[in-house]
């Protein structure tokens, strides 16, 4: 049984500490002034929700590639660097662009705290420990938001939690993060299986967001969906929009408490995405699509699926009605499309797919948006209009002005409090 479990949980490719967001290179910004890791010198605690089949004890869970109808909820502890590593070393690595080695992230333990079945009939006792843990974490943070991270294809549970842990780490341990881990085959050769699992997972994702809004003290729920994670997040959000279709937008927004919806290199069928977006775009603070027009991975996905992806769109395949709707949404400020331009971003791989965390400019912008809910113009991005469509991009002087921009956002946030 142990051998089978090891096969089903898949191999664990190493995740290393991502490059330091460029704004943290400056001595004027100390994200860690009043915060340190959650336990020990280099341990990060995040929450998780998964519809993967479990193995092992609830006090030390592992999750397989199998699809479950039950949504399991818990807390994961991730170590950054070596066992017993010092906080001073981790902080030094997290505030510079120069590193003499890589810091590996290790999943220490996953503790299951509750579960939800596939209906709305889950008893309070099955989720009370998880709710209490979320609320305790919120009480310990200045930020009362949570970011739900949805990973892409071919990722295992470890990868999902390790990537999510970096969001908490680089927001200075003052932002609650939850990894939503859906079952993938963990092999690109079985990408079709991942697409099918994503489709089956969307209702569970919708249930989770509804559950968090109804049962916790969270003020706003952000969603960061990477790559094929968009195939879970977008239809899940559309289901919520359909569920509340009888209510006016303001009432529905108060019920769902959704904040920023950020699609990083979204691997979602372009036409399907345009069909789903109207159901939820008016229920959130904003929707962002960050795309690299030369994305190599999405080019392969387009070939595999026989349809262009919204993260690497082909405008000439959109209908006039779809183009008009997207233009209106963009110009109204509800939809923000960010183009990743390798000719401007220093040392950017032209075909990059992982730019949201691999490039220090982009990761800075993502984290600032999640923390401050600021629109692109207040985050230092530049705008360009093409045939009435509004695009955003990183200007060449972005590194020179982002520190001052962040200081102003911090000042404004402090004034509001």
Task: Tell me what pLDDT residue 126 has.
Answer: 85
Q: How far apart are CA 72 and CA 80, in angstroms?
A: 25
Q: What is the pLDDT of residue 96?
A: 93
- Phi and psi at residue 164, in whole multiples of 5°? -65, -35
pLDDT of residue 330: 86
Give the pLDDT mean for 217-229.
97
Which residue has 């959130």 as its token pair?
A: 284
Mean pLDDT for 148-158 is 96
Residues ≥6 apart with Cβ < 8 Å to 374: 368, 409
In the structure, what pLDDT confidence band is assigned to residue 122 with cuts at 50, 70 and 90? Answer: low
Average pLDDT over residues 361-366: 98
- pLDDT above 90: residue 332: no
Rounded Cα–Cα distance for residues 41 and 231 (Å): 36
Q: How many residues does the chain have?
A: 417
The more confident residue out of 299 and 319 is 299
Check if the beta carbon of residue 104 is closer than 8 Å to that of residue 15.
yes
Specify whether the CB–CB gap between 265 and 228 falls below 8 A.
Answer: no
Strand bridging mode 286-291 / 258-264: parallel
HSE at residue 364, side-chain half, CA atoms within 13 A, is: 25
Asked whether the whole model's pTM tops 0.75, one would answer yes
Strands 62-80 and 43-55: antiparallel
Q: Which of 232, 184, 201 is nearest to 10 (CA)?
A: 184
pLDDT at 32 over 80: yes
How confident is residue 387, by pLDDT bands cut at 50, 70 and 90?
A: confident
- 12 in Cβ contact with 28 (< 8 Å): no
Mean pLDDT for 197-216 is 96
Cα–Cα distance list, 211 to 105, 197, 208 (Å): 30, 21, 5
Q: How far is the CA of 184 from the CAs of 89, 115, 157, 189, 393, in angstroms?
A: 34, 20, 9, 11, 32
Calpha distance 179→201 (Å, rounded): 14
| pLDDT over 70 percentage in the chain | 94
pLDDT of residue 415: 63
Query: Phi and psi (nearest 5°) for 309?
Result: -100, 150
Region of residue 53 (phi > 0: left; psi between -120 and 50: alpha; otherwise: beta): beta
Q: What is the mean pLDDT of residues 103-131?
A: 87
Quick one: pLDDT at residue 1?
A: 38
Residue 256 has pLDDT above 50, yes or no: yes
Query: Residue 211's closest CA among 289, 122, 312?
Result: 122
Does the pLDDT of residue 5 top 50, yes or no? no
pLDDT of residue 9: 46
Task: Please report which helix (H) or strand (E) contains residue 393, including its range.
Answer: strand 389-393
Rounded average pLDDT over 24-50: 88
Our CA angle for 276, 282, 285, nearest 5°, is: 110
- CA 83 to chain CA centroid, Å, is 27
């Amino acid at each position: 049984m142990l051998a089978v479990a090891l096969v089903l949980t898949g191999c664990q490719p190493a995740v290393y500490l991502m490059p330091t967001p460029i704004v943290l290179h400056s001595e004027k910004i100390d994200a860690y002034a009043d915060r340190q890791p959650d336990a020990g010198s280099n341990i990060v605690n995040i929450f998780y929700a998964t519809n993967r089949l479990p193995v092992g004890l609830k006090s030390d869970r592992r999750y397989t590639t199998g699809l479950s109808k039950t949504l399991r909820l818990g807390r994961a502890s991730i170590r950054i660097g070596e066992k017993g590593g010092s906080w001073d070393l981790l902080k030094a690595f997290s505030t510079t662009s120069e590193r003499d080695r890589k810091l590996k992230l290790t999943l220490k333990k996953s503790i299951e705290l509750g579960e939800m079945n596939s209906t709305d009939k889950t008893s309070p006792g099955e989720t009370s420990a998880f709710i209490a843990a979320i609320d305790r974490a919120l009480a310990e943070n200045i930020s009362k938001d949570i970011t739900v991270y949805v990973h892409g294809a071919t990722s295992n549970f470890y990868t999902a939690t390790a990537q999510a842990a970096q969001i908490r780490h680089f927001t200075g341990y003052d932002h609650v993060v939850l990894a939503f881990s859906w079952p993938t085959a963990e092999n690109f050769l079985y990408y079709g299986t991942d697409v099918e699992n994503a489709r089956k997972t969307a209702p569970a994702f919708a249930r989770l967001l509804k559950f968090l809004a109804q049962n916790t003290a969270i003020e706003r729920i952000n969603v960061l969906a990477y790559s094929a994670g968009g195939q879970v997040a977008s239809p899940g959000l559309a289901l919520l929009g359909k569920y509340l279709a009888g209510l006016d937008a303001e009432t529905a927004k108060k019920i769902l408490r959704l904040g920023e919806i950020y699609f990083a290199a979204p691997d979602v069928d372009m036409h399907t995405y345009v069909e789903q977006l109207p159901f939820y775009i008016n229920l959130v603070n904003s929707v962002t699509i960050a795309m690299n027009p030369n994305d190599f991975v999405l080019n392969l996905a387009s070939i595999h699926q026989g349809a262009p992806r919204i993260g690497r769109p082909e405008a000439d395949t959109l209908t006039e009605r779809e183009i008009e709707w997207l233009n209106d949404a963009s110009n109204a400020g509800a939809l923000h499309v960010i183009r990743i331009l390798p000719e401007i971003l220093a040392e950017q791989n032209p075909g990059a797919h992982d730019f949201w965390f691999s490039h220090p400019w982009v990761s800075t912008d993502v984290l600032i948006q999640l923390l401050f809910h600021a629109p692109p113009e207040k985050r230092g991005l530049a705008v360009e209009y093409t045939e009435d469509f509004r695009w955003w991009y990183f200007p060449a002087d972005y590194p020179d002005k982002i520190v001052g921009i962040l200081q102003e956002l911090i000042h404004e946030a402090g004034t509001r409090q």
